């Protein structure tokens, strides 16, 4: 939305007053903003730029970070003790000069008094590399050109990062070995029709469609407009997957869960939301699903739903994926022990219609879940033995594996991107 010049001026004054107030509490204050030209400064690219840059701020700010939003665009203020203004400025200049989005960022540093610290050298123009003052004086580029450069640069960076993180998260899940009868690099587990190579091909085929779910979320943050778009991208992903696997369903459940998660993240970014709003956004999206129309009345899942009130992934999705957030909270580091224990938690938490079908009876289904949920710490021998047992009964925990990949993605994304107030960036929601 275009702001009036007076509103922009007022927002700048309010920011300057907040900075003055914060200077009393620390040696240095940094003000992080996106350099957005023109009258509309609250565009998604501003939130994206700050979100990607925020994890580069030195840790241990002495006061809680201050998040400002208004006509002059979003800004973050961080106050430091024991870090001199010149040292802080040096670090911020280095981040501006080396991060792919650094050219779109203004990180102003203030000491306890006086004006903000400035650079020795002029920053180059985004478009042509000449000194900025020269391009400004000669009016070398139109507002439209400058804005398009910012938007393309930020969107391309986002898409590249999301694509790489999806690839990494799928790999986190796929390479975990042993894994209770799921496909690994060395073993097809309880899935004779699948192997590592097939899963890799399926993952590569669906990734571009999944990436688009984030960008659609940014463009259409309203759940009612977004959901049908996610659904059609989900269909496209599934068609690409079946083409790559010769018709085998390697990642249908993952497309559903990760697609919703990516759409919800995009929706939050698009409206400058916070991580804490993620479950609500997921619930708003899943509220759009017409579950009755999903599996046909004859499927095993539907039968279980009718006869036993068995919720399957529907219940988890409708609740805003609480098990996914619990799993993500276990992935502070991503390694075999933490991934295995996150998977164990998911198997215990989720109702899995595929597992129920394979188990063949409620008794065996419960026994399988309880046996795995009883694993309290990472014990490679116990996990190998339990995997042998699961394989011997052809059990599969595909639903939990899908959410493990989602949790790994969320954990990885949260390291490079910070939404809203940092202290809200907790998965214990
Ligand atoms: Zn220029």
Hey, where are the domains in the chain? Answer: 5-141, 159-424
pLDDT bracket for residue 87 (50, 70, 90): very high
Residue 290 has pLDDT above 80, yes or no: no
Burial class (CB in 10 A: 0-12, 13-18, 19+), 293: exposed
Mean of all residue pLDDT scores within the chain: 90
Centre of ligand 1 to C-alpha 107, Å, is 21
Residue 205 has pLDDT above 80, yes or no: yes
- State the pLDDT at residue 360: 87
pLDDT tens-digit map of 317-376: 999 999 999 999 999 999 999 999 999 999 999 988 888 888 888 899 999 999 999 999
Query: Pick from 105, 106, 109: which is nearest to 88 by CA?
Result: 109
Centre of ligand 1 to C-alpha 330, Å, is 47
- State the pLDDT at residue 1: 77
Centre of ligand 1 to C-alpha 157, Å, is 21
Centre of ligand 1 to C-alpha 145, Å, is 10
Average pLDDT over residues 411-423: 74
Residue 275 has pLDDT above 90, yes or no: no
Percentage of the chain with pLDDT > 70? 93
Residue 13 has pLDDT above 80, yes or no: yes
Centre of ligand 1 to C-alpha 91, Å, is 26
Query: Pick from 195, 176, 219: which is nearest to 331 by CA?
Result: 176
Average pLDDT over residues 383-410: 94
Centre of ligand 1 to C-alpha 127, Å, is 5
Q: Which residue has better confidence, 342 or 420?
A: 342
Q: Using an 8 Å Cβ cutoff, are 209 and 236 in contact?
A: yes
Structural domain 159-424, CATH architecture? Orthogonal Bundle (1.10)
Cα separation, 76 vs 300, in Å, equals 51
Centre of ligand 1 to C-alpha 132, Å, is 6
Centre of ligand 1 to C-alpha 124, Å, is 8
Query: Pick from 212, 217, 265, 220: which is nearest to 236 by CA?
Result: 212
**C-alpha triplet 131, 137, 138: angle, nearest 5°:** 95
**Dihedral over Cα of 93, 94, 97, 101: its sign:** negative
What separation in angstroms does the CA of 8 have from each of 3, 72, 269, 429? 7, 5, 22, 35
Centre of ligand 1 to C-alpha 131, Å, is 7
What per-residue string of b and e applies to 400-417 under the rule 16 or more CB within 10 Å gives b?
bbbbbbbbbbbbbbbeeb
Residue whose tokens read 């986002």: 158
- State the pLDDT at residue 310: 64
- State the pLDDT at residue 26: 86
Average pLDDT over residues 43-63: 90
Q: Which residue has better confidence, 395 or 290?
A: 395
Residue 411 has pLDDT above 70, yes or no: yes
Phi-psi group of 302: left, alpha or beta (phi > 0 → left; psi -120 to 50 → alpha; rest → beta): alpha
Centre of ligand 1 to C-alpha 45, Å, is 20
Percentage of the chain with pLDDT > 90? 71
Residue 269 has pLDDT above 90, yes or no: no
- State the pLDDT at residue 423: 35
Q: What is 113-161 written as a DSSP string?
A: SSS-B--SSPPBPTTT-SBHHHHHHTT-S-HHHHHHHHHHHHHHHHHHH
Centre of ligand 1 to C-alpha 138, Å, is 9
- State the pLDDT at residue 59: 86
- State the pLDDT at residue 344: 97
Centre of ligand 1 to C-alpha 146, Å, is 9
- State the pLDDT at residue 271: 80
Centre of ligand 1 to C-alpha 122, Å, is 13
């Amino acid at each position: 939305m275009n702001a009036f010049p007076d509103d922009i001026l007022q927002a700048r004054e309010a920011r300057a007053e907040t900075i003055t107030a914060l200077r009393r509490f620390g040696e240095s204050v940094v003000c992080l903003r996106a350099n957005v030209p023109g009258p509309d400064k609250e565009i998604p690219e501003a939130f994206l730029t700050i979100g990607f840059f925020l994890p580069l701020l030195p840790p241990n700010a002495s006061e809680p970070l201050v998040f400002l939003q208004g006509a002059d665009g979003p800004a973050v203020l961080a106050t430091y003790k024991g870090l001199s203004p010149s040292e802080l400025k040096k670090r911020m200049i280095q981040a501006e000069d080396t991060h792919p989005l650094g050219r779109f960022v203004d990180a102003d540093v203030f000491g306890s008094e006086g004006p903000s610290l400035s650079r020795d050298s002029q920053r180059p123009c985004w478009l042509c590399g000449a000194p900025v003052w020269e391009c400004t004086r000669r009016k070398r580029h139109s507002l439209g050109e400058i804005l398009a450069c910012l938007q393309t640069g930020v969107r391309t960076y986002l898409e590249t990062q999301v694509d790489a993180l999806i690839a990494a998260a799928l790999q986190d899940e796929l390479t975990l070995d042993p894994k209770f009868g799921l496909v690994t690099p060395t073993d097809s587990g309880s899935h004779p029709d699948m192997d590592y190579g097939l899963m890799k091909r399926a993952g590569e085929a669906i990734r571009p469609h999944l990436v688009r779910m984030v960008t659609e979320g940014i463009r259409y943050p309203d759940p009612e407009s977004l959901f049908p778009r996610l659904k059609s991208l989900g269909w496209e992903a599934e068609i690409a997957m079946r083409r790559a696997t010769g018709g085998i369903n390697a990642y249908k459940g993952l497309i559903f869960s990760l697609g919703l998660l990516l759409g919800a993240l995009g929706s939050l970014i698009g409206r400058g939301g916070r991580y804490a709003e993620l479950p609500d956004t997921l619930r708003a999206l899943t509220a759009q699903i017409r579950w009755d129309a999903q599996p046909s009345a004859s499927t095993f899942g539907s039968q279980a739903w009718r006869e036993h009130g068995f919720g399957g992934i529907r219940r988890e999705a409708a609740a805003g994926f609480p098990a996914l957030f619990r799993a993500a909270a276990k992935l502070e580091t991503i390694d075999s022990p933490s991934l295995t224990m996150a998977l164990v938690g998911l198997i215990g938490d989720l109702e899995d219609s595929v597992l129920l079908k394979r188990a063949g009876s409620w008794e065996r289904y419960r026994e399988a879940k309880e046996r795995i949920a009883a694993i309290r710490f990472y014990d490679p021998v116990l996990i190998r033995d339990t995997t042998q047992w699961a394989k011997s009964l052809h059990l599969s925990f595909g639903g939990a594996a899908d959410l493990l990949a989602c949790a790994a993605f969320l954990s990885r994304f949260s390291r490079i991107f910070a939404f809203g107030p940092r202290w809200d960036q907790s998965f214990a929601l």
